[in-house]
A and B are shown apart, each in its own frame.
Chain A
């Protein structure tokens, strides 16, 4: 039974993937117009591979989290038709062919652990569940931290994430320092997929993943304690710091949309004439109309309320409900927020964490 298979280069891995393409939808990261995107394998040409390799090799998550593969920005629930006064509903059929997402970073895949806690508990979000079970995650591991990374602080193992099907290790990250690419199955789903790949000519067959080299465990990092932070937050509800942040905040949705653990959505109907669809799409608690009520009342009228709510959810409410802090330390907020507000700056403000 396959544990690890080795490809002598990224392109040979891709050739192998192409052979199994008919049974899977495979998505990989690359660059388009200089911006990191995930594209279906078919659209990835030879000259994209360089970019793809860069993304896999850099110890920083790709621009946009792979959350959207299991929890799309917008997806249709059901369709409906109206005949006179009778309505006809039909559930929107889900994609059957299994999906393979290559290139997620440990922090990204770990985030699914948290979303599971919300979506897979009763009542189960079947749309998420189906995708979750139908998706194979090939995680590109890190051998050190990027400029914005807080994975260690938030207890994410950047070398061996708990949630994953297959780990992707680049030769250059290892003691070998070669161009090879190693795929190591860490789940049953992963193993089955690797077997399929193994049959393909490109693979060099069985092997063991060489040891990673690099700043694998940061010594000076204290792992953040959810309980401690939760308690600190308890006393900060009326603190002026939220107003301070709010004064800088643009009120856009970048932090929530790029955060791999944020999972709020809105449900809408779109209909013309006698037919239409009900669909859900991401929503952001940073938007003023997120908490707007039918009567026009808004329980979180100001930016201050909203920004406070967001960080209380991450650092307090979620701990109470599920246990962990709702953050995997991917650092996307730090990277993308136009006003420089991030989980890091907040932790710093509330006096937690050395690095930040």
Chain B
């Protein structure tokens, strides 16, 4: 065995904090190390050439690299070894950048640590074993979770590429948040006008299969071969028979708050989410329906001409196999009740931006009229409060919700347009207008008379005057003094938060979530749509606050990843799988229940012991299923179970070398 050690400067990134020459020199003392070298940029063409030269010159068969995290460049170097006819798992990487030079300040100590880390890697490399991956087939069918604009876009893209897609939506109609909006910034074109065509396209696309009023029940399997259980909630209306006439809805006696209008209006117990709903067939909300509570009523069934109402309808579990999954679970908005200073809930005229959005919407609760909920009159003076629950850990979320600045500008413009003379005051920390045409849009809003006050609102309270108006106390940074504004209406730009229940989805998918509950992408810069779980991709706000164009482009990106997977038609199995030493294994099968992938099964070996043939049980691994977590190896008492790339010998050698 001949080991070559290469220490990367990473320009100054490592060199400034670690004495790379010293590290390289030290490694000469390690057994079997025949070549050491420090290189300016090991990942560069030049650096790679150095390695290749050394391999040829010294006939190296183990390569140890001191550089950045293996999570960064392991693939690069594995490919290099492959190109030289060496097994890719004969390269061992010591992480002396992220884990050393970048996090330490004392060059001497950092160098000692770097030496330890590289020595550790060399010690591990002695025990490296060759590993291969198998090729696995891919089910060329995608699942998209969430029927908002992101989900719709992703589904359409994959479908257009010619692959079947199942689109699962929790509500009774696709459309999501965008369907609630009136206009979109910065173009101010009608949200519905651009969304509905896409909704219809999704519904009618030959490759897209809609599951509305349905939820994800269980996800099993792995990239290319996911097995998913979908719960189709009972609609109580047979979509085949229903012609969507809507008589049942008009006749239904039971009224409940309409979530689509953020509760500012009422809907029936049998309902469609909104007029342009897709599919435009009603469902019965069994929690509010009289029949399901008392067994009486049954009006809808009686008047339905097509006899589509089916009270006996039951939840169904649909099982499907998919090659890729796209999560587009969207967002909720923070309920400002938790921030008493804003008086929300105590005074009807303190509303959220989404409430206003609905009011402005021609098909909304007020048919497009903006009113003071308290008395139905048109407001003259409106105060907008930005960053309600955003950009302040103590008030909710540390992050910026990103879209509020622009939609508030939009609101002031729309008000100014529809109801000339309304005064808009906007309290803001600062205005963020990153994005094409956004700054101009904001300028336009100000030009049209919106008054921006740089400062935060400290308190909102009711003015006990006859019109029951509101007093907004705040700070105006530009004047540098407290200001008080008497307002008819206060609009809170409340923070965007991950959709309720998205955590459950994340767990089902095996995707991790960040500290705010948004799904974690694989790499913040270079893998924004992938997740740590292969074959599962992200689209839209479930990954973090975005505006519509961003969500749409991410959706297309995610769908593209799925399409790539389908085009390849096969995936490489994980090479670092568990391995059984059948000579040692007792076949007790205690490891079986530990395996999350059901990759361990019982097998039998036949042996001759003192001339007698003995048939004894042993564990055996299905390499296609095994993902190499090593839970079995951690459990196995006799150490018969091991994990490629992380064998007991390798880890022990690492530990001993420290």
Contact = CB atoms under 8 A, between A and B. Distances in A.
B361 to A, nearest CB: 72
Contacts of A273: 119, 657
Interface string B634-646: 0000000000000
B610 A274 contact: no
B656 A302 contact: no
B530 to A, nearest CB: 40
Nearest to B28: A84
Given A84-B28, A84-B29, A272 B610 contact: no
Given A84-B29, A274-B29, A302 B610 contact: yes
Nearest to A296: B583
Among A82, A84, A273, chain B packs the most CB atoms within 10 A around the CB of A273
A273 B657 CA distance: 6
A345 B37 CA distance: 68
B69 to A, nearest CB: 25
Interface in B4-55: 28-29
A274 to B, nearest CB: 7
Nearest to B655: A272
A272 B656 contact: yes
Contacts of A274: 29
Contacts of B119: 273
B306 to A, nearest CB: 78
Nearest to A305: B610
A82 B119 CA distance: 15
A83 B28 CA distance: 10
A343 to B, nearest CB: 27
A84 B27 CA distance: 9
A82 B28 CA distance: 12
B592 to A, nearest CB: 27
A301 B29 CA distance: 41
Nearest to A83: B29
Interface in B160-212: none
Interface residues of A, number: 8
A84 B656 CA distance: 19
B113 to A, nearest CB: 15
Interface in A54-88: 82-84
A82 B31 CA distance: 10
A84 B28 CA distance: 7
B124 to A, nearest CB: 14
Interface string A280-324: 000000000000000000000110000000000000000000000
Contacts of A84: 28-29
Interface in B47-101: none
Nearest to B119: A273
B226 to A, nearest CB: 43
B122 to A, nearest CB: 12
Nearest to A273: B657
B405 to A, nearest CB: 59
Interface string B106-131: 00000000000001000000000000
A34 B301 CA distance: 87
A272 B119 CA distance: 12
Interface in B603-658: 610, 656-657
A134 B656 CA distance: 37
Nearest to A302: B610
Contacts of A302: 610
Interface in A78-112: 82-84
A87 B426 CA distance: 79
A83 B610 CA distance: 48
Contacts of B28: 84
Contacts of B610: 301-302
B415 to A, nearest CB: 74
A344 B119 CA distance: 56
B607 to A, nearest CB: 12
A83 B30 CA distance: 9
A15 B48 CA distance: 77
A243 to B, nearest CB: 11
Contacts of A272: 656
B30 to A, nearest CB: 9
A242 to B, nearest CB: 14
A4 to B, nearest CB: 57
B585 to A, nearest CB: 16
A302 to B, nearest CB: 7
A84 B33 CA distance: 10
A272 B120 CA distance: 12
A273 B656 CA distance: 7
A118 B657 CA distance: 39
Nearest to B583: A296
Contacts of B656: 272
Interface string A242-282: 00000000000000000000000000000011100000000
B656 to A, nearest CB: 6
Contacts of A301: 610
Contacts of A83: 29
A272 B656 CA distance: 6
Nearest to A304: B610
A301 B119 CA distance: 39
Interface string B398-429: 00000000000000000000000000000000
A10 B495 CA distance: 87
A302 B611 CA distance: 13
Among B28, B29, B119, chain A packs the most CB atoms within 10 A around the CB of B29
A68 B47 CA distance: 60
A186 B119 CA distance: 59
Nearest to A301: B610
A14 to B, nearest CB: 46
A234 to B, nearest CB: 24
B126 to A, nearest CB: 14
A80 to B, nearest CB: 13
Interface string B366-392: 000000000000000000000000000
A81 to B, nearest CB: 11
B395 to A, nearest CB: 54
B118 to A, nearest CB: 13
B398 to A, nearest CB: 45
Contacts of B29: 82-84, 274
A83 B656 CA distance: 18
A289 to B, nearest CB: 13
A84 B32 CA distance: 11
A83 B26 CA distance: 11
B293 to A, nearest CB: 71
Interface of B: 28-29, 119, 610, 656-657
9 contacts: A82-B29, A83-B29, A84-B28, A84-B29, A272-B656, A273-B119, A273-B657, A274-B29, A301-B610
Interface of A: 82-84, 272-274, 301-302
Given A83-B29, A273-B657, A302-B610, 7 more contacts: A82-B29, A84-B28, A84-B29, A272-B656, A273-B119, A274-B29, A301-B610
Q: What are the 4 tightest A-B residue pairs by CB atom distance, in nearest-first order? A: A84-B29, A272-B656, A302-B610, A273-B657
